[in-house]
Amino acid sequence: MTKDLLKGLNEHLKLEFRASHEYLAMSIWLSEHDLPGFATWMRKQSSDELLHAQRIIDHLVERDQKVALPAIAAPPMTWKSAEALCAHVLKNEQDVTASINELYAMAEKAKDRPGVVMLQWFVTEQMEEEAAARAVLGRIRLAGNTGVGLLMIDQELSGGAVPGMPAAPAGAA
Ligand SMILES: [Fe+2]
Ligand SMILES: [Fe+2]
């Protein structure tokens, strides 16, 4: 693996861990604001981001490359609104996509096939994650940022009605 790609992959870990940390904080704020569907969705996103970091770590370890775990700053614990929160999620995902695309181009240029294959998974994943964030944000803007509209979307999120959303837990009404 080239030095640049190794450095880039290690730097990318920070984006995944930071997203996990931020999404966990968002999930706490959403629970505090009586939006359990949104909270469950963000908790799931937080776990997914940890899995993304682990996927890169496993790749580096398998290839006998040095992993450098990043320091992660404390995330914001309050949000102006569910809309502001979701807008931040979408922006975050777009930043991650940009980083993945850069890494993919580096791997391609270096003819690093295992790297390309590993990053290919992330290209597809990012497309799905952006689409899900965009779908939720769009529905908040349609239905309104407060009251009945927001409650309706919260119900959808706990029932898995929005593409890319988790299904309702077993036994849920
Ligand atoms: Fe991710
Ligand atoms: Fe993500």
All structural domains of the chain with their residue ranges = 3-159
Q: Residue 159: its pLDDT value, please? A: 75
CATH code for the domain defined by 3-159: 1.20.1260.10
Which protein residues have their CB within 5 A of the ion that is ligand 2? 129
Residue with tokens 């990053």: 119
Give 124: exposed, middle or buried? Use CB within 10 Å, 0-12, 13-18, 19+. Answer: exposed
Confidence of residue 173 (pLDDT cuts 50, 70, 90): very low
Q: Supply the Cα-derived Rg of the chain in whole angstroms.
A: 17
Predicted confidence (pLDDT) at residue 138 exceeds the cutoff of 80: yes
Q: Whole-number mean pLDDT of the chain?
A: 92
Higher pLDDT among residues 138 and 160, named by residue? 138
Look at the pTM and tell me if it is higher than 0.75: yes
- Predicted confidence (pLDDT) at residue 72 exceeds the cutoff of 70: yes
Report pLDDT digits (tens) over 81-92.
Answer: 999 999 999 999
Ligand 1 midpoint to CA 85 (Å): 17
CA of 93 to the centre of ligand 2 (A): 5
The CA 163 to ligand 1 mean position distance, Å, reads: 17
Q: How many CB atoms are located within 10 Å of the residue 151 CB?
A: 14
* Centroid of ligand 1 to alpha carbon of 147 (angstroms): 31
Burial group, residue 143, by CB count within 10 angstroms (0-12, 13-18, 19+):
middle
Ligand 1 centre to CA of 20 (Å) is 8
